[in-house]
Amino acid sequence: MVVSGVDQPLFRSFVSVRDTGRAVGAGVLLADDAVLTCAHVVNSALGRNRYDQTPPGPGQAVRVRLPHVAPDRDLTARVEPALWSPPRATAAAGSGPVPPGAHLHHGDLAVLRLPGPAPAGAEPAPFLPHAYGNEVIALWASGHPLPTVRAVPRVSAPPWVALDVVGGTEVREGFSGGPLWDRDRQAVVGLVVADLQTPAGARQPQAAATLYAISVPAIEAELPELPPPLVPTARRGVQQLLAVLETILTTPDAVRGCEELLASRLLRPSLGPGADLDRLVGLAVGVRRGVPELLQAVREMMPAGSGPQWERLRRVARAVSPGESLTRKQQRDLNGLLAHCGRTDPRQLLADVLPHAIELPAVTGLADTLDVLEGFEAQGAQPMPPLLQGVVRIGVDESEAGAYPAEDLAAWTERTALRLGVDVAAVRQYTADVRGYRAERARAAAEHHTRRSSHPTDHHAARNAAHHDTRPPAGWAGVGSAAVGMAPLGTAPVEAGPADPAPVGPAPSANGSRPSRYGTESGARLSEVPRVQVELLPTATGRHYTYQVWAWSGGDAPHHLVLARDTEVTSEQVVDDIHRVLVEEIREDPEPALVEFFLPAAWLGLPVDRWESFDSDEDGPFGLGFTRRVVIRTARRSRESYAGWKRRTAALDTARSLVLDHGSTDRKVARARLELQPEVGTVIVCCEPRHHGALLRQCVQAGVHTVLWHREEHGESVAAGLLELVEGGHHTQLPETVRLERAKAVAEAASTGHRGRQLSLMYDAPDHRPPQLAPDAWVLTQP
């Protein structure tokens, strides 16, 4: 059978795992004679309990088929004993079986060995780590392309990745063990392991399911003896890599020795005397972590090497294999140490090390977090790459509990820094800076505690002042080298508490009057309306939150931090606290306050306007979205977006609105449309909800001030209705207009489809931001 067209690598490597005459699961060709699948699929094919932990014996053969290569030929395969990782209850190796009724489990991987090479036309699949936001597909056990599931990775929650099913067939038994295929990058990004469907009586349709997969890094960590999987053929930088290696490996013996060493570490055969530079580079770029292994082999073969050619080699290696800097052994050693670490919050670690990232992926484990950090380069004057910064911060956290594993993490960091070309002195300086900052924070907290004890009547204010004063600015570690954080080259480091920039206020309208809530001077200007400002930090599930609340009473008054909640609570508690601040801290006369939620880019779609509290108001439930003007703002913007942000904000009075509809769902198309209209500050997003996140991020990156969208509906009539709301008055009226639409939806209880029920508004200027969230004055004053 000839396989052609798109997704050829998927079809050539797809394996159907069978029980007599039927398919029970799937797998993927890992090498010419090896199939990777789930252990519970093997158990099902052998007629055993799916969670059986005992390795199948040599006499127990599993029938497999490559349906797109040899559809009428069944092959017999046997489990590779050293690569059998059965389902188990916990992360600890050798832990007990999965309890009855349990869903989440660990392990569940197996490698099947074929009696010889796979049939002609079959090829091992390329593998890459998954990319958040990239749609993937999964084929059912038969391999037929019609019963295909489409999904998008949502969060990595070790040992699995959770994916939202966005289309295709209904998720059912038979997808397990099969490859998750990223069509954009043409690579396997995980193995399907389970699904969790919406209960039959739930409000969502039955097709709204969550798919779970084992990620590529998790597979590598679970099966450390697994041969490195292939990767899509690398092209960029290969010729540069050959050129720089010619200046380092100058003799045939050096090339041959390096090839033999690299082949042994990648578990590949060596060509011996026939090895040359092309073979050496081809071996490295063809497998996962092959390029870091190549650098390590070259270093061992030429230990005296140093100078410009070695720096060039490291730089070119990063271009050839971005996102990979550790060898397999370095990664295994690090993951082994991380298994003993539990004092560092993964999401906070990402935010601390990458303060200027426009979006941070949802992560829940330290190993997954460091996989993310490995993909980032050091910026500006900071010599420490983000990966090493993260390990240092984890080590400092762990040192508060004892010597292990903190001292081993420190030793790992210094050894790895040498191999990455980072001066050990920079590592030690950064570590000292982090420790110094932690000590300073502890001293400040102790001082505030003393003041709180001596002034009990001011207990609430003192506690919040302590939280405000001891929080570091983004990317800050202390003094010295670590203080530079991730500031781009040529910019100043982020400093604590920058002064608010000059407001970008509304310009006079055509008749010369100043716009206000009603477009004239008859009401207070929106820029003078009091505000409750909430920096909201959702947990990975998006159902619990930590937050800080500021009150701003207008005019020249400072932003006053009135509440900081560090424990995770529900949305009802968030609304309770906001309502208390509105009552106790804000004077809403004559204008009701603006309630502004500052959210990370990944959470701009959170329906905060629908939140309510059932017992915070004496007159009944308190609905936030229709009693106050609720808008969404960005917690951070990248430095490169500031110029567009200023320009688009200043042009709000004159520029027309832009609609990003279904024709703009490609991120490049959306960005191009925004670039073609650099003055547009107001955008209507009107497309399928699954594209909202990507388009919102494009708007933020381009500096858009206002975005209005309906969270469920789309189409020409919806877009026309939203445009009518936007263009029916001055832009400063929009928060009030949207509030009234939400109120109408609540008032018309019988109309479940009123557009006001699902309206989201991002209304975000560079001004009127709490000091911690304000942009640097430096970037706002540069041309």
What rounded mean pLDDT belongs to the chain?
Answer: 81
Instruction: Assign 197 to helix, strand or coil.
Output: strand
Whole-number pLDDT of residue 654 = 86
Residue 327 near residue 333, CB atoms below 8 Å: no
Most confident of 20-24, 86-90, 109-113, 501-505: 109-113
pLDDT at 688 over 80: yes
- CATH, range 8-222: 2.40.10.120
pLDDT digits (tens, 9 = 90+) for 70-97: 998 999 999 999 999 999 988 777 778 8
3-state secondary structure 336-382: HHHCCCCCCCHHHHHHHHCCCCCCCCCECCHHHHHHHHHCCCCCCCC
- pLDDT at site 615: 61
Tracing tokens 């090896």 back to the chain, one arrives at 34
Is it the case that residue 245 has pLDDT exceeding 80? yes
On the question of pLDDT at 778 being above 70, the answer is no
Q: Picking from 159-168, 523-532, 572-581, which range would have the lowest pLDDT averaged per residue?
A: 523-532
* The predicted structure's pLDDT at residue 567: 77
Contact indicator for 726, 617 with CB cutoff of 8 Å:
no
Higher pLDDT, 642 or 325: 325
- What is the average pLDDT across 140-147? 86
Task: Check whether 167 has a pLDDT greater than 80.
Answer: yes
pLDDT of residue 358: 58
Lowest mean per-residue pLDDT among 365-369, 549-553, 689-693, 771-775: 771-775
d(CA 520, CA 607): 31
Range name among 189-203, 224-238, 374-388 with the lowest pLDDT average: 189-203
What tokens does 322 get? 């971005």
459: confidence class by pLDDT, cuts 50, 70, 90: very low
- 20, burial (CB in 10 Å: exposed 0-12, middle 13-18, buried 19+): exposed
pLDDT, position 199:
43
How far CA 764 is from CA of 528, 691, 707, 760, in Å, comes to: 15, 21, 9, 13
Residue type, 82: A
Q: What is the DSSP pairing of strand 136-139 with strand 109-113?
A: unpaired
Q: Name, in order, each residue with C-beta under 8 angstroms of 134's C-beta and a sequence gap of 6 or more.
A: 152, 153, 182, 184, 185, 189
How much is the pLDDT for 359? Answer: 64
Q: Is the per-residue pLDDT at 623 higher than 90?
A: no
H or E segment to which residue 414 belongs: helix 406-419
